[in-house]
Structure 1
Amino acid sequence: MTSTVPGANATSADVRDILNPATGAVIATVAEHGATGVDAAVATAKAAFDSGPWPAMVRSQRARLLLRIADAIEANADRLYTLEAENNGRPITETRAQLSRVPEWFRYNAGLLAAQRQAVLPGDGPYLTYQERRPLGVCGIITPFNHPLLILARSVSAALANGNTVVVKPSELTPLTTLVLADVMAEAGLPDGVVTVVTGAREAGARLTQHPDVAKITLTGGTEAGRAAAVATASRFARVTAELGGKTPVIVFGDVDPVVAAEGAAFSAFVAAGQSCVAGSRFLVQRNVYDRFVATLSARARAIRIGDPTDADTQLGPLISARQRDKVQALMRAGVDEGARLAAGGGVPELPEALRDGFFLEPTVIADATMANTVAMEEIFGPVAVVIPFDDEDEAVRMANDNRYGLGAGVWTTDVGRAHRVASAIVAGMVWVNDHHRLEPSLPWGGVKESGLGKDAGSESFDDFSWIKTVVVRTAADHVDWYGGGETTRLN
């Protein structure tokens, strides 16, 4: 499998092995492009925007093509499910549930395009004033390893709907489904050069954010990568949407059944092996249900089936790499050293020989933590749930907001007034009540503080892939002669 960058074929020395994190085995080899590869990809995208058919295509035709792409993704669903599970280690049941929704983003943005209206603006005098939305040009999309296809779909569908061309830089660890999607879109009829994939690591990502011909960057990744992208785009007044880190608080109040809350907590903490920016990673639990919550969550963690991600019975797959597993284990050790208690997990599971070189870690519960503990403040990005007790609502809200991140949050309560009150008080881009991880194409996605800038998904994302032109047309029969004694009462 190779990169799709035209005119930038890598030599045999410029390739990267792609691993199956469940086995450590090489499953593919892709080109390792740097700045030169990105320049070639951007040049291809710019030529397609400047002289290709895509930006000039009538909206209904572009919308129909997005719908064909959605159908083509569904036709290739089994291939995509299996490949993504092999490449990022997420259990096939989770992968199927997530990727089955990818076509929705193309259909949603096709619908927004088909229904788009241009504003006519009020004003005094004999003038008709209206607005046009125009595509930005070349847009760069940088995607992470944890949800490569879904995160790409929600951005690329909005970018394409608006008539932009796109350069995609997937994570160097999980590029495979992105490359397949590029082929699927081409087979569905997307014109040449409209979407180009460049495979590479940090150098490629940095060059894409810095490239003078890239009008917008959408990045999902770490906070420092987002900070660098924001600086690079600001220097040329390009746009940036950055969905970054998180340390999602989940508040469990004493009026809720702790067993029900713990079952929901297990899903929020351990889905995707905890490798999600909105994973429930710190559980703030009221003292009257604290002990039962910890016991139930720990029992759930110990019962989770760990194994081959392509096996339908597997409930937890590996972490993405040995490096990531080492980082998670180091943070867990720091939590225990600082006085927290290991209530469940914490080790490497015993698995069949075929999986012993994989990057597995037991689902882990760290209880009796405090807000002073490293595990309570730092993003872990692994299957680790940190549980902290609290006494009252005000304390819970203070603890929830006492963090540099603000991406997602959860609230578990049976008190309707409290649910709305606390959801309003939490500083986060998205709050779930009595649930977690529920998304729709229409829901704006993005955080505050160090969790990022802008919104992915929703009409907010759709609109941000275009710029507004205002047109003022004088409709009066006469003309203005300012210096010849005409109208002199209005001047801006």
Structure 2
Amino acid sequence: MSETHAPTTAADTVKVFGHHINGCSVPSASGRLIDVHAPATGEVIARVADGGLQEVQQAVAAARTALTSPEWAVMSPRERGKLVIHLAELMERNLEELFHLETLNNGRPLRETRSQISRAPDLFRYNAALAIARRDDVIPVEGPYFTFTKRLPIGVVANISPFNHPLLIACRNIAPTLASGCTTVVKPSEYTPLTVLRLAEIFEAGGLPPGVLNVVTGYGATAGKALVENPGINKLVLTGGTESGRLAGAAAASNFAHQTLELGGKTPVLVFGDYDVDRAVDLALFGAFVGAGQTCVCAARHIVHRSIYAPFVEKLAARADALRVGDPFDPATQVGPVISEKQRQRVLRFVEAGKAEGARLVAGGVVPDDPALAGGFFVRPTVFADVTNQMQIAREEVFGPFTVVIPFDTEDEAIEIANDTPYGLGAAIRTNDITRALRFVDQIDAGIVWINDHHRIDPASPWGGVKLSGTGREYGEEAFNAYFTTKAVMVRTSDERFDWFADADAPQRLN
């Protein structure tokens, strides 16, 4: 596929995808299909099966069968690690196809897609290494006992992944699922199911046993609801909005499923007066507008010391206005579309809310006037200044190319503004004073903090939030270990006879 848009596709030639269950493409029982659109043009690029209870039950049953199948269950950790490394290599061989399919499906500029998905194979290698290096514990205890633990795969994992990073977020959960010996049912966003469906095909063609990785497509209110409520799942992993996480988490909790939830955010970025303004603006553009701002750690609130506030606002507005919005396959494009017309209207409603609240719109806030972009879901990168933290635009997650700037005078005021939010996923600090930076790391309510950077991840570094931003961690040993249950084993090593009732007068150990 060339780095231009594919031609408009006639409706009768649009490819139809079924669910991927137990190694087969399965149509929905209802026969209904969901149109998948290219956000850059609005065109229908595919149709996927609209799943519900029946398909979810079928997929969970396949995953449960695979969990104990000889092909999967008896595989040693070393063998499984080798297989997962092989899958990483297969993914790497198919990256070019996945780059283009992801860009077509979710509208991120191809440069961003390449930079992001090219790292996904390392998620599998990292978790494979943890599987190979895994060691259980021997526990010293009082008395004649040898005590040890055995870690066992937790079971069937429900993986609900979002539209903003469709393949990466799915992979960050598929990788530890496979490396741990679990099985999974993935429910991708109805907006962006294509790369996950393709990955399942690639992996099974490369030797992953059928039923280990299943994909059910559909809407959250039907397929997603049926999945989180299914008593056959043992763990829920979800990335999405806070309200979606609350509903899904409550449903999964009714079956006592373990949970890892990465939810909403309203990331504070503290910019101190000793930091170079131009460098701060560079990072602000990256943090706020990469992925068209559709990230849970979007640099949503820039809390800037008053000594550099005016030049920061001026330069950020000018740079935001200069960003090239357009076709994600065009190498010159810097910001692509948002995922849908519904999402664009949400962004524009926040623009109107900001104006009504008295904030100063200094950049963007409009739909581009380029006729070539008329069919897509584009909105100009938007910056509001003179914002207070009580305004709606400073408190609610927009999920678009939208950021606000808030002035502060003292360190105490900065931390108070930063923490005055129900969210706590990411935070960032811009300062040349490392002592100050580390002091703020301890004070800020966030699961991830970047000092003089933004949005960086690594397979070994845990990722997750506090407060309404979720529970549990992804990436790192913390995530891998959460795919196991722990069984404790105590072995009596004494040959002396033990008769509790016959030796009632002798001191005995009860517990």
Which digits, 9 at most, give the CA deviation of each residue in 1:382-403, with x for residues without a partner? Answer: 0011001111111000000000
Do residues 459 (structure 1) and 511 (structure 2) align?
no
> Could you tell me which residue of structure 2 aligns to residue 93 of structure 1?
111
Query: What is the match of residue 302 of structure 1?
Result: 321
- State the match for 1:475 in structure 2: 493
Distance 2:181 2:279 in 1: 46
Equivalence map 1:108-127=2 (5 Å): 108-127=126-145
Other-structure match for 1:415: 433
Q: Could you tell me whether the CA contact under 8 Å between 1:259 and 1:292 is conserved in 2? A: no
**TM-aligned CA deviation for residue 376 of structure 1:** 0.5
Q: 1:444 aligns with which of 462, 468, 475?
A: 462
The reply on whether 1:3 has 2:22 as its aligned counterpart is: no
Provide the C-alpha distance between the structure 2 equivalents of 1:52 and 1:145, rounded to a whole number of angstroms: 35
Report the counterpart of residue 408 of structure 2 in structure 1: 390
Contact residue 18 and residue 173 of structure 1 kept, 8 A: yes
Q: Does 1:323 align with 2:339?
A: no
Q: Is the 8 A contact 2:152 2:485 kept in 1?
A: yes
- Aligned counterparts, 1:334-353, within 5 A: 334-353=353-372
How many equivalent pairs are there? 491
Q: CA–CA distance in 2 between the matches of 1:253 and 1:266?
A: 17
Corresponding residue of 1:155:
173
CA contact (8 A) 1:55 1:135 kept: no
Query: 2:42 corresponds to which residue?
Result: 24
Residue 82 of structure 1 deviates from its aligned partner by 0.5
Residue 264 (structure 1) aligned to one of 279, 283, 306: 283
User: C-alpha separation between the residues in 2 aligned to 1:67 and 1:392?
Assistant: 50
Alpha-carbon distance in 2 for matches of 1:458, 1:170:
23
The whole-number CA distance in structure 1 between the counterparts of 2:384 and 2:121 is 38
Does the CA-based 8 Å contact 2:500-2:508 persist in structure 1?
A: no
Q: CA offset at residue 10 of structure 1? A: 2.2
- Corresponding letter in the other structure for 1:61: E
Match of 2:189 among 158, 166, 171: 171
The answer on whether the counterparts of 2:18 and 2:26 sit within 8 Å (CA) in structure 1 is no
Report SS of the residue matched to 2:149. strand
Q: Which amino acid letter does the alignment assign opposite residue 451 of structure 2? A: V
RMSD: 1.2
The answer (yes or no) to whether the contact 1:423–1:431 under 8 Å persists in 2 is yes
Name the residue aligned to 2:67: 49
For residues 340 and 389 of structure 1, the distance between their equivalents in structure 2, rounded to whole angstroms, comes to 12
Q: Is the CA contact (8 Å cut-off) linking 1:482 and 1:488 kept in structure 2?
A: no
Distance 2:248 2:369 in 1: 41
- Pair 1:374 & 2:392 matched: yes
Deviations 1:302-345 (A, max 9, x none): 11111111122211000000000001100111011100001011
Deviation string for 1:155-209 (max 9, x for gaps)? 1111111111100000000000000110111122100100000000121111111
Aligned pair 1:245/2:303, yes or no? no
Whole-angstrom CA distance in 2 between matches of 1:281 and 1:458? 26
Match of 2:11 in 1: none
The residue aligned with 1:432 is 450
1:478 to partner: Cα distance: 2.4
Structure 1 residue aligned with 2:77: 59
CA contact (8 A) 2:18 2:25 kept: no
Maintained 8 Å contact 1:281/1:384: yes
Tell me the amino acid that sits aligned with residue 450 of structure 2.
W
Matched position secondary structure for 1:214: coil
CA distance in 1, matches of 2:72, 2:324: 47
1: CA distance between counterparts of 2:291 and 2:497? 66
For residue 204 of structure 2, the aligned residue among 178, 182, 186 is 186
Deviation at 1:55, TM superposition (A): 2.3
Letter in 2 for 1:322: E
CA deviation profile, 1:269-328 (whole Å, cap 9, x unmatched): 000000000010010001000011011111111111111111222110000000000011
Q: Output the CA distance in 2 between the equivalents of 1:52 and 1:242.
A: 31
| CA distance in 2: counterparts of 1:287 and 1:406, whole angstroms | 24
- Residue 80 of structure 1 is matched in structure 2 by 98
Question: With structure 2 as the length reference, what TM-score do the two structures score?
Answer: 0.94
Distance in 1 (alpha carbons) for counterparts of 2:314 and 2:404: 13
The one-character-per-residue Cα deviations of 1:447-474 (angstroms, maximum 9, x if unpaired) are 0111001111111110111100000011
Residue 146 of structure 1: aligned partner: 164
Q: Is the 8 A contact 1:264 1:436 kept in 2?
A: yes
Q: Secondary structure at the match of 1:53?
A: helix
Distance across 2 between alignment mates of 1:12 and 1:131: 47
- Gap change, CA 1:415 and 1:219, over 3 Å in 2: same
Structure 2, unmatched stretches of 5+, are 1-16
Deviation at 1:52, TM superposition (A): 4.3
- What code does the residue aligned with 1:374 have? Q
Identify if the C-alpha distance between structure 1 residues 142 and 52 changes in structure 2 by more than 3 Å, giving closer, same or farther: farther
Deviations for 1:81-131, whole angstroms, at most 9, x for unmatched residues?
Answer: 000001000000000000000001100000111111110001122211000
Tell whether the 8 Å contact from 1:8 to 1:40 is kept in structure 2 after alignment: no
Q: Residue 51 of structure 1: CA displacement?
A: 2.9
Give 1:476 shift: 1.6
1:334–1:374 CA contact under 8 A, matched in 2: yes
Identical aligned residues as a percent: 51
Structure 2 partner of 1:15: 33
**2:253 aligned to 193, 217, 234, which one?**
234
Q: Is the 8 A contact 2:31 2:49 kept in 1?
A: no
1:488 aligns with 2:504: no
Partner Cα separation in structure 2 for residue 52 and residue 448 of structure 1: 40
State the distance in 2 between where 1:340 and 1:87 align.
34
